[in-house]
Chain A
Amino acid sequence: MAVEPALALRGVTKRFGGLAVSDDVSFDVPSGARVALIGPNGAGKTTLFNLISGVHKIDSGAILLDGKPIQDLPPRKRVRAGLSRSFQNIRLMPHLSVIENIMLGQHTLATDMRSLLTPLAWQRKSKWRIQARDSMMRAGIDVDPDASVGGLPYGLRKKIEVVRALMSRPRLLMLDEPAAGLNPRETAELSAFLKAVAWDGLTLLVVEHDMSFVHDLCEHTVVLNFGRLIYDGPTRGVQDDRQVREAYLGSRRVGAKEIGHVA
């Protein structure tokens, strides 16, 4: 029996007015894989993330999480089904502390009334807090857990957002430009951290412009252009693909030998 892919898109189509922002997109993200989603600006990468996480409803097609259709579920039920995401612009709760932001990520695990009414702030040794502190430490977030997130450096907030997205113990983690704005050292750290969490069976789908980060992290790449899938294959081959080169560089320049890289 074949293993179901963690995420499968089948002919996913979405139109805003007359414009097809996602046009018959189909691809698989195999279970446990690390897949990059790239494409020029305006290709529809973030839109596709929004369709998968349920911010927008799709017009036609199907989105399968572990083989089960999720396209009709509201966003919060998709989280419960095992899907978690981060945002392109950091969306931490500005008035919550570091540990509170991370504990918010556990929300889907607190299913009964009792865990909703446990006074988290008063129990310094609750399993929720210990779990959150543990995740902070593993990600190397070395700050006062009660500090407000507002004043923290950008790279750190970015990391906190990834950790928060991991707290719901997702099957599939979708990251929207996690390396944007990070310095090379932070990028390398993030890549190592993501490889370590993926080692535990997590599946990753990453939108990213930083190609060295993509090469380092993702063995498989999917390329979008104008809402259409133009490449679905190993990351190694992406720069040699004619359509991809056309999408990034324009059709006139593709023949020119001196251009050795995209993005």
Chain B
Amino acid sequence: MSGYLSGTLAILCINLIFAYGIFVTAAAGQINLGGAGFQAIGAYATAWLVSQTGLPIWLIIPAATLATALVGFLISFPVLRTRGVYMVLATFAFGEVVTGFLLHSTVFGGAMGMVVPQHIELWVLTVSAVVVTIAAFYLMATRLGLAMRSVNDDEDAAIVMGVNVRLVQVVAFTVGGAFTGLSGALYALNFGFVEAQYFNSLLSIYVLLFVLIGGAQTAWGPLAGSLFFTLLPELFRIGGSWRFFVFGVLIVLMMTVRPEGIVTREMVRRLSPRRWWPYRTREVYHGG
């Protein structure tokens, strides 16, 4: 495989895991615009563990993932006190706080960043991306996933159905934190270098766009969004510097034509082979 191709595939894997981290919270009705902050925590935790401890990589990756999950769990409590656009702002502020802290800390190298003297093979990235994708599909298929989607649709009605809305949201934030942290750990180990400036608000916006343009209704959305956002700009390279213009126009078009994302539930249902199975209900009950 050429260096260009494997490089693109590595970025795609990291972006995909990152997107699922944001998707899990979005599926439960919470917009996280602080994605870069969560990813930075996973990346810096990895960089610090690699340089300060002699732990093997297969322990460092889960440790960084768990650390970010813990941050997600803790931060969910203040964040969940806010709603709507204020929640977006609160998560955004969190992302800014994380990068601000990293820029001014001596332990984490400040503006100089940190070198990560370890490397992972492409297959680790690929396997991780596949595992996270399956986990996201599994989660959305469970009753917990059903509860998450119902919280997204109508929080008050979900309460009346007996759903513990707060618990569902905290779980979503924690799992989202874990996925995002994992993407950060893989980023650090793939590029061998982390700097706080990379984890900026533009990155948070991009990953949120992966999810919203891809579609937050089903686990197919982040997959479509990550492919769209990672591969299309590469395809447009032939257009030179016009590629960002074309790409921007495409995004606006997508939002106009498919406001609920590239992949919607209805689309998945229409394409599903189940649709052609003969199992419609027959009227049995006749009243009286």
Residues of A in contact with B (beta carbons under 8 Å apart): 53, 55, 75-76, 79-80, 84-85, 87, 91-97, 100, 103-105, 107-108, 110, 115-122, 128, 133, 136-148, 164, 168, 188-189, 192-193, 196
The 5 closest A-B pairs by CB, nearest first: A192-B287, A108-B162, A79-B162, A121-B141, A119-B141
Contacts of B152 in A (CB 8 A): 95
Contacts of B164 in A (CB 8 A): 76
- Which of B146, B147, B153, B274 has its CB near the most chain A CB atoms (within 10 A)? B146
Contacts of B11 in A (CB 8 A): none
* Cα–Cα distance between A119 and B143 once the two chains are bound (Å): 7
* Cα–Cα distance between A141 and B287 once the two chains are bound (Å): 12
A120 touches B162 (CB 8 A): no
B142 touches A107 (CB 8 A): no
Contacts of B145 in A (CB 8 A): 121
A179 to chain B, nearest CB (A): 14
- B146 partner, pick from A91, A120, A136, A196, beta carbons under 8 A: A120
Shortest Cβ distance from B268 into A: residue:
A146
Contacts of A164 in B (CB 8 A): 161
Contacts of B282 in A (CB 8 A): 137, 142
Contacts of B157 in A (CB 8 A): 87, 91-93
User: Does B133 have its Cβ within 8 Å of any Cβ on chain A?
Assistant: no
Contact (A55, B156) CB under 8 Å given A100-B146, A146-B275: yes
User: Does B81 have its Cβ within 8 Å of any Cβ on chain A?
Assistant: no
A35 to chain B, nearest CB (A): 20
* Cα–Cα distance between A96 and B265 once the two chains are bound (Å): 8
Contacts of B156 in A (CB 8 A): 55, 91
A126 to chain B, nearest CB (A): 10
User: Does B238 have its Cβ within 8 Å of any Cβ on chain A?
Assistant: no
User: Does B107 have its Cβ within 8 Å of any Cβ on chain A?
Assistant: no
Shortest Cβ distance from B274 into A: residue:
A146
**How many of B's residues come within 8 Å of A, CB to CB?**
40
Contact (A138, B284) CB under 8 Å given A117-B142, A117-B144: yes
Contacts of A107 in B (CB 8 A): 143, 146-147, 161-163
A137 touches B284 (CB 8 A): yes
B202 to chain A, nearest CB (A): 30
Which residues of chain B from 115 to 144 have any CB-CB distance to chain A below 8 Å in the complex? Answer: 138, 140-144
What are 21 pairs between A and B in contact, CB < 8 Å? A75-B159, A79-B161, A92-B157, A93-B154, A97-B269, A103-B143, A104-B150, A104-B161, A105-B161, A107-B143, A107-B162, A108-B161, A116-B143, A118-B143, A121-B141, A138-B285, A140-B287, A142-B281, A143-B280, A146-B274, A148-B269
Contacts of B266 in A (CB 8 A): 148
Shortest Cβ distance from A117 into B: residue:
B142
A79-B162, A104-B158, A139-B285 given. 7 additional CB < 8 A pairs?
A: A94-B153, A104-B146, A107-B162, A120-B142, A121-B141, A121-B142, A140-B285
Contacts of B147 in A (CB 8 A): 104, 107, 116
